[in-house]
Structure 1
Amino acid sequence: MPGAMQIAALFLVGAWILTLCPRASSTSMGHPLPIPLKENRLSPQPSGSSAPAVNKERTSLPASVKPSQEYLDDDDDYEDYLLTVEPRTPGSPKPLPRLCNYNHCQHLQVPCVELSRASECLCPGITGPDLAPEPPRLQTVHVSETGASLRWCAPSSTVQEYRLQYQPVGGAFVSGPALNSTFRLMEVSGLLPSQEYLFCIVASNQAGSSPTDDGTREHGPCRLIRTSARWMPYVYIAAGLAAALVLVTISALVWHFCFRNKRKDLHRGSLDNILDGEPGLQGAANSSFRSEEQL
């Protein structure tokens, strides 16, 4: 009985001593151990399966998985993670596509959208169809007596059609037919000679039309021009007078040379005239020349 009491007393003393000691940490550094990865045991693959086999001896985190914070608390663990993850190598930069061969001022120019779709090129920046077009740039104007031809350059906007508007100064505007977005050239006829006109090129889409001006700007959408005077009757009259003068001059020269040569033949005389004693401009004939010859 006394032996049992001693064993119990020793057990209580030992338990009391254990309660006084501080709780031990999981590691010598005082940090919790990382949660071990669960190893999935591979089951034998069925025959005919295309799944790749996994090497159980080399297991690492994929590069796209970010480690949890508990793995990055320790410097050693973070260095091990950096050594395990393979850095991404950036690919070679993709070359930029070339610019489209698009000319704003070329007549019957193919739309840049079609060029880009065909050759994967870049188009110049333009405003969308929800905004009214900017004004086109009137390039050249050729004027005759009763007509004119105009060339323009397309704006940096979405254009559905063009229209030519013109008016005599002090008169009403006349609007020409609608032209599709590929047009850069138009001719107009039926104008009055020696008359001043205001010509304007207007671009339109579903949002509206481009503005116009008074024609005084150098590269604006409008231009003040004056048709040529009617000079054709005067040209015909002048050409007729010149032709008549040339004919008269030629006739006078021909008559002069022909008459002069004829007079020279008459005044010079012949051998018969000299022997017959007919006087001429070349001197008098010798009357004794025939008789002396007979002797």
Structure 2
Amino acid sequence: MDILAPFLVGAWILTFCPRGSATSMGHPLPAPLQENPLFSPPAGSNLPAVGEEGTSPPTHLRMPHNYAEDDYYYDIEEDLLTPEPPTPGVPQPLPPRCDYNHCQHLQVPCAELSRAEGCLCPGISGPDVAPEAPRLQIIHTTEAGASVRWCAPSSTVLEYRLDYRPVDGTFISGPAMNSTSRLAVVSGLSPGQEYLFCVVASNWAGSSPTDDGVGEHGPCRLARTPARQMPYVYVAAGLASVLGLLVVSVLAWHFWYRKKKHLRRGSLDNILDGESGLEGTANASFRTEEQL
């Protein structure tokens, strides 16, 4: 009984062990993988060759001694994947807009900016269409002149011209200016007179229209020159002269009055009349003693 006890314990332990796989139970091993004709490793790659005789690791790969499993790896997808070509039909970003100011004096034409910087210009009408009206921006007037600023229209312009006239007179045309001009100066105006100023743009197709100057953003505007005034130098000189003459007159009168008052004090008449002066009280018996 003591001899059978160890065998019974071992049989009882084996009942709790998991069952073996098909291979461990004596079944034959599966057949090796056959070579796939549709897949062959690329030339020069490190993939192992697959054939009827099984697999064999490449002879040019050698693992160093005492290597760590995380330090070395082989990525099969790195050799198989290729970069995808760009998707056709995707719109490319547009060039930036040109730094073009319609109201800047001596502004470089936008066509030259576009050729130099590869930027985009604002849309304008062609040379076969008459220009639109410029926008008169500001007017500064003096007694005999004025300076006018304007903004260019969205049109092809060859030259500008400033026309002006008195309200009850006829237009006077100024000289022609090139397409980069945004400023004009007029001289020979009359002081205290209201004028109508108009900026006209022109090309081979014609000239821009004008108006009566009532609108704020049109090509024309009414402005009045200031009245003639006396120069400030003359006004200042006249005031200084009057003030100086007044001061001299007051000082002269003051000294004259003091001198006259000083002569009356201490005289023989003051003593005889008994008037008090700076020297004391007059002696009433002075004339009597003098006669004795």
TM-score between the two structures when normalised by the length of structure 1: 0.56
2:243 maps to what in 1?
A: 246
2:191 maps to what in 1?
A: 193
What are the equivalent positions in structure 2 for 1:5-16 lying under 5 Å apart? none
What SS does the aligned partner of 1:232 have?
coil
Tell me the amino acid that sits aligned with residue 250 of structure 1: V
What are the equivalent positions in structure 2 for 1:73-222 lying under 5 Å apart? 89-90=86-87, 94-222=92-220
Can you list the C-alpha shifts for 1:139-194, whole angstroms capped at 9, x where unaligned? 11111111111000101111110001111223221111110001000101111222
Gaps of at least 5 residues in structure 1 are 1-85, 270-278, 286-295
Counterpart CA distance in 2 for 1:230 and 1:97 is 55
Tell me the amino acid that sits aligned with residue 139 of structure 1: Q
1:78 maps to what in 2?
A: none
What SS does the aligned partner of 2:201 have?
strand
From 221, 228, 231, the equivalent of 2:229 is: 231
Counterpart CA distance in 2 for 1:261 and 1:181 is 79
Tell me the amino acid that sits aligned with residue 247 of structure 1: G
Counterpart CA distance in 2 for 1:113 and 1:260 is 87
Bigger CA drift: 163-172 or 93-102?
A: 93-102
Counterpart CA distance in 1 for 2:95 and 2:254 is 82
Counterpart CA distance in 1 for 2:260 and 2:173 is 76
Pair 1:262–1:211, CA change in 2 (3 A): same
What SS does the aligned partner of 1:116 have?
helix
Tell me the amino acid that sits aligned with residue 249 of structure 1: L
1:281 maps to what in 2?
A: 278
2:65 maps to what in 1?
A: none
Tell me the amino acid that sits aligned with residue 151 of structure 1: R
What SS does the aligned partner of 1:141 have?
strand
Percentage of identical aligned residues:
62
Counterpart CA distance in 2 for 1:103 and 1:178 is 21
Q: How far did 1:266 drift?
A: 9.3
Pair 1:121–1:250, CA change in 2 (3 A): farther
Tell me the amino acid that sits aligned with residue 97 of structure 1: P
Bigger CA drift: 210-219 or 243-252?
A: 243-252
Tell me the amino acid that sits aligned with residue 231 of structure 1: Q
Pair 1:93–1:239, CA change in 2 (3 A): same
Q: How far did 1:257 drift?
A: 7.3
Q: How many residues align?
A: 191
Whether the aligned pair in 2 keeps the contact of 1:267 and 1:281 (CA below 8 Å) is no
Counterpart CA distance in 1 for 2:192 and 2:125 is 40
Counterpart CA distance in 1 for 2:126 and 2:169 is 35
Pair 1:280–1:217, CA change in 2 (3 A): same
What are the equivalent positions in structure 2 for 1:7-86 lying under 5 Å apart? none
Counterpart CA distance in 1 for 2:236 and 2:106 is 41
Gaps of at least 5 residues in structure 2 are 1-82, 267-275, 283-292
